[in-house]
Amino acid sequence: MKKLINLVGILMMVVLVGCGQKIEVENTTNKIKKLYIGTNAEYKPYEYLENGKMIGFDIEFMEALAENLGYEIEWKNLSFDGLLPALQTQKIDMVIAGMSPTEERKKAVDFTDIYHSGWQTVLVNKKNKEIQSAEDLKGKIIGVPLGSFQEGIASKIKGTEVKFYNSFTGAVLELNTQKIDAVIVGEITADYYLENNKNLKKISLPKEQQKGTNGIAIALEKGQTELLKNLNEGIEALKSNGKYQELLNKYFGG
């Protein structure tokens, strides 16, 4: 009987705990917790694909955070507008995707403390001589990802037609061919798009038009109080031990 019990004790078991989280048990003393993290790998330098591998500031930041908290990660690359629905239906445990914790989003999910901040800017095609400043955006077609923070900014510009995309990349592609007039995007990410799209330029977007939050945070299902507490403590730990600054230097130049 003891042999049978010991044999059962070392078998792999998968137990569902909480909202989509799984604990894989290799034996009676060694527990490996796995988190299913959703992102949209089309927002350089936060998350993007390079040679088929998902990399970026958010990716390395989340992996360092999870390692310190004793979790393994399985990444899920989804469309931006599908991230929060996937979280709410427990297909994933968290979202990290350059996502701002707007008041509207907070009604549906919880957010960690803001871990990075940055302002927004506008990309336009150089051939479009009508747009020289943010004031010229009135009545124009602006492309943004559906459900993004930028959607809220674009919708407040009078007379604007907002066109929705699954990612910033899709919007930038149509801006190149002048199917739309502008794209609102984070300042740092805009610089990366300009490197590979020489016919585009950026114009400044007044900070008063960016009401809400200019920071980004990790989203998780409401009610995960202990996990949220651990994540916030983990974010502070990465800032204290130098890992956060190391990643800032790597992806943003300090």
- Measured CA distances, 44 to 11, 54, 89, 185, 192 (Å): 42, 11, 27, 11, 7
pTM of the model: 0.78
pLDDT at 31: 52
Domains parsed from the chain with CATH numbers: 9-116+214-252 (3.40.190.10), 119-210 (3.40.190.10)
Query: Quick one: tokens of 88?
Result: 């709410």
**In angstroms, rounded to a whole number, what is the distance separating the alpha carbons of residues 113 and 217?**
6
Look at the alpha carbons of 237, 240, 243, 246 in this order and tell me if their dihedral is positive or negative: positive
- Over residues 87-112, the pLDDT tens digits come to 999 999 999 999 989 888 999 999 99
pLDDT at 254: 53
- Over residues 19-30, the pLDDT tens digits come to 444 434 333 334
Burial 15-53 (b: 16+ CB within 10 A, else e): eeeebbbbeebeeeeeeeebbbbbbbbbbbbbbbeeeee
Tell me whether strands 141-145 and 161-165 are parallel, antiparallel or unpaired.
parallel
The edge-to-edge listing of strands for the beta sheet with 182-186 is 161-165, 141-145, 182-186, 120-125, 200-204
**In angstroms, rounded to a whole number, what is the distance separating the alpha carbons of residues 159 and 85?**
30
pLDDT at 6: 43
The answer to whether the beta carbons of residues 157 and 138 sit under 8 Å apart is yes
**In angstroms, rounded to a whole number, what is the distance separating the alpha carbons of residues 131 and 203?**
9
pLDDT at 207: 86
pLDDT at 29: 33
**In angstroms, rounded to a whole number, what is the distance separating the alpha carbons of residues 81 and 103?**
17
Question: What single string gives the DSSP state of each residue in the chain?
Answer: -HHHHHHHHTS-EEEEETTTEEEEESSSS-EEEEEEEEE-SEETTTEEEETTEEESHHHHHHHHHHHHHTEEEEEEE--HHHHHHHHHTTS-SEE-SS----HHHHTTSEE----EE--EEEEEETT-TT-SSGGGGTT-EEEEETT-HHHHHHHTSTTPEEEEESSHHHHHHHHHTTSSSEEEEEHHHHHHHHHH-TTEEEEE--GGGG-S--EE--EE-TT-HHHHHHHHHHHHHHHHSSHHHHHHHHHH--
The answer to whether the beta carbons of residues 96 and 220 sit under 8 Å apart is no
Query: pLDDT by residue for the chain (254 residues), tens digit each?
Result: 434 334 334 333 333 334 444 434 333 334 558 999 999 999 999 999 999 999 999 999 999 999 999 999 999 999 999 999 999 999 999 999 999 898 889 999 999 999 998 889 999 999 999 999 999 999 999 999 988 889 889 988 989 999 999 889 999 999 999 999 999 999 989 999 999 999 999 999 998 888 766 789 999 999 999 999 999 999 999 999 999 999 999 998 75
